[in-house]
Structure 1
Amino acid sequence: MLKKSILLSIAALFIFSATYIGSAIYTLYSKKMISVDPRLKEVSGIEYDKHKRLWAINDSGDEPKLYRLNDDGSIAKEILVTNAKNIDWEDMTQNKFGHFFLGDFGNNTNERRWLTIYKIENPIDIKTDTTEAEIIKFTYPELDGTPVAPDNRNYDLEAFVALGRHLYLFTKNRTEPFDGITNVYKVGDHAANFNAELIDSFKTCTTMEKLCWITSAALSPDRKKLVLLDSTSLWLFENFKRDKFFSGDVSRIDLGIVTQKEAVTFYDDNTIVFTDEEFKGIGGNAYVIKLDEAKKQIIRKAPLKP
């Protein structure tokens, strides 16, 4: 009888696990839009131009290039940024004028002191296959040149957005022990050397760092919604004031099975597109979410005004 009970328990656990995994896979793949060209095997940033065509960049190891994608995910055009290097390109964003910003600020070991952002014109206005960038440099004033202590390793970056005349940088937390906090820094959006200004922070989770590392960010075209991306979720921030992104309503959208999700953008004010990297046959796609159809878990509502 005991053996039978154990076998029944194992069978029930197996069925539950299979159902859960199957549901998680469906949650993600039901949102699939396209498979991305294999040459973009490490997509780290995406953005739409003024003609609603999708552009992407690769992570470190590639040339300093932008790639425009066809509707089927193949590469339609490449643009080389001639005065740039791809040390660790981690995200792409644009301002309301259509300028693109390319973030060469990956800092896995927290040892890079000066980080770079390349600013270019909207790719739709680039008539050849090359362009030059305006170069923005920044550093963290908290760093004094000595090694960063494990419990202070929060100077890696993979996410940023443009608002007004500033860029807002969201850190990828690598603290030990992991505390789940992404810090927000502000720098100017023009060529200069900046001391990044710490302005706010937000805690995602403290369970497993690889599940709640912030890997990309995006602002809606009307600048009223912010999303942060991690391996399992979209964090949606609404009804905030100016650049106090975390002051309003906060909700979480489950993205299903864990994959290496690295890039997110808005197509329009209601439509979000995100990508993941391919690993052992899973991922390597772009996915689409309609916010008015998404299931949102309310994390926090903005305080009511007295």
Structure 2
Amino acid sequence: MRWISLALPLLILIGCSSSPVNRAQWSELRLMPTSIRSLGENLPEGSGLALHNQTLWSINDGGNDPILYGFDLTDDSATKVEKVTLRNAANLDWESLITTSEALVIADCGNNRGDRIWFQFHSISWDQLVESQGLVDANTINVKLADVTPAVERQDHNRDCEAVTEVDGNYWLFTKNWRDHKSRLYIVDPNSDQQSVSSHQSFDVAGLITGADYDAKSRRLALIGYGSGFAVTQPFIWIVPVYQGQAQFDQAVRYSLAKMGQWEAIHWYQGHLLISRETSPLGGALLAEVKLPTQMH
């Protein structure tokens, strides 16, 4: 998404504040992201992360070309950047990347205005991506949220989306609720070309969810986001256990991040988390690592 201008009138920012929430699950620990490299030259609006064979892939969001950017995670200089263009898909508002064993999936689900009817998921097999020579064609499915009514209400609605991940073979889509600061979960069948889905669960995340990733080994879901209004300076990560296909939000823990910014994407990596920040007045585009505490609080 585009950054939220800090130059807006303060009364507008105050109007975005949320109602009081239960903070019993909020840890007192503040996690410090460790910088890995700047992303500003190619990915000023990096909105998704996907890792395959040590190549980290990312995307810019809406208004940019339909290009995937890949670089070697082990190369500290990051001088070599691979660019792969999708020939048969536009970038309406790419907001998330899904990593599966067979493919990289682009979630075109951004909906700042609130009037979008269909979301698209563009799938490219890893083999095709490796052999692409700069151009690929994607397989696309179309998804509609069945329990909402589209209408133009820019950044004043609960129908936006920037966070999708794979859990047990399905895509889990989390809404970004500008109005009530909750998030609804929708489960998408990747094998259905066109489908309407209704929400399964709703979580009181107390903020705007911008990224999601699931670790099948530990069966933990990670959600990243930040607040609105003055709370835009307060990014956070939720760690949510998953059991028998259900997100156990009553057992989740929320950690604040000790480095400000519009953190837009998250990806599990060797038991820790890679996160990316979009360019904004709060800081430049950045890839960083976050290490979780050994003993969860």
Indicate whether the TM-score tops 0.5: yes
Q: Is 1:218 paired with 2:207? A: no
Indicate which of 160, 166, 177 corresponds to 1:162. Answer: 166
Code of the residue aligned with 2:254 in structure 1: it is R
How far apart in 1 are the matches of 2:58 and 2:183? 24
> Post-superposition shift, 1:191?
4.9
Deviates more, 1:223-232 or 1:110-119: 223-232
Q: Which residue of 2 is the match for residue 182 of structure 1?
A: 183
Mapped pair 1:104 → 2:105: no
Residues 242/99 of structure 1: CA separation in 2 closer, same or farther (3 Å cut): farther
Aligned-pair CA distance for 1:290: 2.3
Offset at residue 35 of structure 1 (A): 1.3
The corresponding residue for 1:276 is 277
Query: What is the DSSP-based 3-state SS (H/G/I as helix, E as strand, rest coil) of the residue aligned with 2:276?
Result: strand
Amino acid of the residue matched to residue 190 of structure 2? D
Of 122, 131, 146 in structure 2, the residue corresponding to residue 126 of structure 1 is 131
Residues 1:228 and 2:231 aligned together: no
Contact 2:66 2:89 in 1 (8 A): yes
RMSD, aligned α-carbons: 2.5
Distance across 2 between alignment mates of 1:174 and 1:280: 20
Query: What is residue 113 of structure 1 aligned with on the other side?
Result: 117
Give the letter for the 1:168 counterpart: W
Aligned to 1:38: 41
Letter of the 1:273 counterpart: L
Counterpart AA for 1:262:
E
Which residue matches 2:253?
Answer: 251
Query: CA separation in 1, counterparts of 2:185 and 2:31?
Result: 30
Q: Name 2:91's counterpart in structure 1.
A: 86
Indicate yes or no: 2:61 matched with 1:59.
Answer: yes
Q: Is the contact between residue 264 and residue 276 of structure 2 (CA under 8 Å) also seen in structure 1? A: yes
TM-score by length of 1: 0.76
Tell me how many residue pairs correspond in the alignment.
256
1:292 Cα deviation after fit: 4.1
Query: Which residue in the other structure is 2:142 paired with?
Result: 137
Matching residue's letter, 2:98: T
Answer yes or no: is the 8 Å Cα contact 2:99–2:105 preserved in 1: yes
Relative contact order (C-alpha < 8 Å, sep 6+): which is higher? Answer: 2
Q: CA deviation at 1:273?
A: 0.2
More displaced stretch, 68-77 vs 148-157: 148-157
Judging by fraction of residues, say which structure has more helix: 1
1:100 touches 1:120 (CA, 8 Å); kept in 2?
yes
The 1-side partners of 2:38 and 2:130 are apart by: 27
The answer to whether structure 1 residue 153 and structure 2 residue 148 are counterparts is no
The correspondence for 2:51, drawn from 48, 52, 60, is 48
Structure 2 counterpart SS, 1:214: strand
Q: Which moved more, 1:70-79 or 1:155-164?
A: 70-79
Contact 1:273–1:288, Cα closer than 8 Å, also in 2: yes
1:203 counterpart letter in structure 2: D
When residues 285 and 241 of structure 1 are mapped into structure 2, their CA distance, relative to the original with a 3 A threshold, is: same
Seen in structure 2, the aligned counterparts of structure 1 residues 215 and 144 have a Cα distance that, compared at 3 Å, is closer
- Give 3-state SS (helix, strand or coil) of 2:63's partner: coil
User: Is 1:135–1:191's contact at 8 Å kept on the other side of the alignment?
Assistant: no
Give ranges in structure 2 of 5+ residues lacking alignment: 1-29, 227-234
Change (3 A) 1:198 1:280: closer
User: Can you list the C-alpha shifts for 1:104-123, whole angstroms capped at 9, x where unaligned?
Assistant: 11011110011111111126
2:175 is aligned to: 171
Where does the alignment leave 5 or more consecutive residues of structure 1 unmatched? 1-25, 206-211, 299-306
TM normalised by structure 2 equals 0.78
State the secondary structure of the residue aligned to 1:61. coil
In 1: Cα distance, 2:211 partner to 2:155 partner: 23
Q: Which amino acid aligns with 1:63?
A: D
What's 1:203 paired with? 204
TM-fit CA distance, 1:277: 1.4
Q: Post-superposition shift, 1:44?
A: 0.3
Q: Secondary structure in 1 aligned to 2:248?
A: helix
DSSP-derived class of the 1:162 partner = strand
Counterpart residue identity of residue 237, structure 1: V
Structure 2 Cα separation of the partners of residues 125 and 282 of structure 1? 32
CA contact (8 A) 1:272 1:290 kept: yes
Matched AA of 1:161: T
In structure 2, how many angstroms separate the alpha carbons of the residues matched to 1:148 and 1:195? 20
